[in-house]
Structure 1
Amino acid sequence: MTGWRAKRRLTRLTSGIRVPATADSAALCQAVAERLDRPVQLLPLPLPTDAPCGIVITTPQSHYVAYDNRTSPLHQRHIVAHELGHLLAGHAARPVGTSDLARLLMPTLDPAMVTSVLGRMPGYDERTEWEAEVIAGLLRKHAGQRPAPPAAPTDPPTADPSTAAVVDRIRQSLAGP
């Protein structure tokens, strides 16, 4: 279903999300976190070229949006909005455990801490990707027609103490050797 009914459903998913007109990715994550009742934290990482350019990692406490920080600021914002689209649409994430995905992307991470991973991986159908793209566009539309100015490079936000060690392991695992 990729017609007007689907677009109307996706528009309803984003309605009421309050995004400032000059929203950067952090503000967009905050606005979506309020809708999801769970924090959404950004993980800017130099992802390997053969990895997806964005990944959602879910723990019992938070969602983490990892994205390739070596691409343009505009592309980074779109990657983040796309991954938030997956979260808002409720797309099923792959459970982490003994999966190949867990071993490849997070070899040093305790799988018990990560409940699921959602990224542009084989197996996600065109409809799911289309929905995430439509939602990304709607979120950017909520933030105004102009893209936000590029933010000055900063350190990623500090995770709450209960998940700081997990976030550090995620960064190390995704950064590769």
Structure 2
Amino acid sequence: MPNMSKTELSLDQRRFVEDLAALLVPWGMQPSVAHLYAYLLLCDEPVSLDAVTATLGMAKSSASVAARALEQFGLARRHSEPGSKRIRYGASTSYSGFIAAQAALMGDLGRLIEERARGISEGETLRRLRYLGSFNRKMEATILGRISELSDEFIAHGPDAELQ
């Protein structure tokens, strides 16, 4: 693969960025955030916002907002340059932040439904709402539990054999 410190993307790399973004947007990730994340995954080294804007064609303000969102999800890391105010961003090696945020939303949804179901419904509707609330809370717990297991597994054993 070409060195991604250059600002040009090959056709296959551009397709990867577009396809990955198309998959992340329905999960609630903003398009600019999804495009930046896909691009950072391709970069061997952290890149400046200027490189991002030149490569992806987004406004610098959009790139900055997207980079901060990725930082909040734990999907990107900020790198400072000694003696400079310039900041570069690189893909993080932690991949669970966005999924954990989605799981937390499921838990919030479940708790809201469960807390209010009795006051707004009865009979079959109440039963359906209680099940939906329980389902969402259990999904949150399952996802967060599996993230923890995978993290512990990686710390103990490293990546899959094919990645070693």
| TM-score, with length taken from structure 1 | 0.23
| TM-score, with length taken from structure 2 | 0.24
Name whichever structure is richer in strand by fraction.
Answer: 1
Higher relative contact order (CA 8 A, sep 6+): 1
